[in-house]
């Protein structure tokens, strides 16, 4: 799925990822985790891609898990922020770490891919 790197794309991408997880047989708890983690990762891509065009989402599914890749044009690696307790924003990767079975990132020639896996 390819969407513009714009705030209006966040909900569309989130629903698409949840639909893929539902199609793969995810449990209700896994669907809830998928919804929140996908929203956080896509929001970060929109925020940090600096209006550079598009965000690409890819999904790999098995009977036990689903991995989502979110590619954007920002070459900087994702970095969890600390010292934000009680402050708005900056908590997205902490949520990803808490809910995803695994997550990481890989550089690309024109940006990066952030990926996460939800297991059920």
Please state the pTM of the whole predicted model. Answer: 0.89
> Rounded CA gap, 75 and 99, in Å?
25
91 pLDDT tier (thresholds 50, 70, 90): low
**The two structure tokens encoding residue 84:** 């934000």
pLDDT at residue 48 in the model: 84
> Residue 44 has what pLDDT?
93
Residue 6 has pLDDT above 90, yes or no: yes
Could you tell me the CATH number of the domain that includes residue 27? 3.30.565.10
Q: Which two tokens stand for residue 66?
A: 């689903």
Residue 86's pLDDT band (boundaries 50, 70, 90)? low
Interatomic CA distance for residues 30 and 66, integer angstroms: 10
pLDDT of 41 higher than 60: yes
What does the pLDDT read at residue 51? 66
Q: Which domain holds residue 54?
A: 2-119
Domain count, the chain: 1
Q: Which stretches of 24-107 are DSSP H helices?
A: 28-48, 92-99
How are strands ordered across the β-sheet holding 65-72? 2-4, 54-61, 65-72, 111-119, 102-108
Confidence at 21, pLDDT banded by 50, 70, 90: very high
Query: Mean pLDDT, the chain, as a whole number?
Result: 91
Residue 27 pLDDT grade (very low, low, confident, very high; cuts 50, 70, 90):
very high
Annotate the chain with three-state secondary structure: CEEECCCCHHHHHHHHHHHHHHHCCCCHHHHHHHHHHHHHHHHHHHHHCCCCCEEEEEEEECCCEEEEEEEECCCCCCCCCCCCCCCCCCCHHHHHHHHCCEEEEEEECCEEEEEEEEEC
């Amino acid at each position: 799925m390819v969407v513009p790197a714009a705030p209006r794309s966040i909900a569309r991408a989130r629903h698409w990822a949840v639909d893929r997880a539902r199609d793969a047989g995810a449990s209700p708890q896994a669907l809830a985790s998928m919804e929140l983690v996908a929203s956080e990762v896509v929001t970060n891509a929109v925020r940090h891609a600096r209006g550079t065009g598009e965000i690409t989402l890819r999904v790999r599914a098995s009977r036990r898990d689903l991995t989502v890749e979110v590619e954007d044009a920002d070459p900087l690696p994702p970095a969890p922020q600390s010292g934000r307790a009680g402050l708005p924003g900056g908590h997205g990767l902490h949520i990803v770490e808490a809910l995803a079975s695994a997550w990481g990132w890989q550089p690309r020639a024109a940006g990066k891919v952030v990926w996460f896996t939800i297991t059920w």
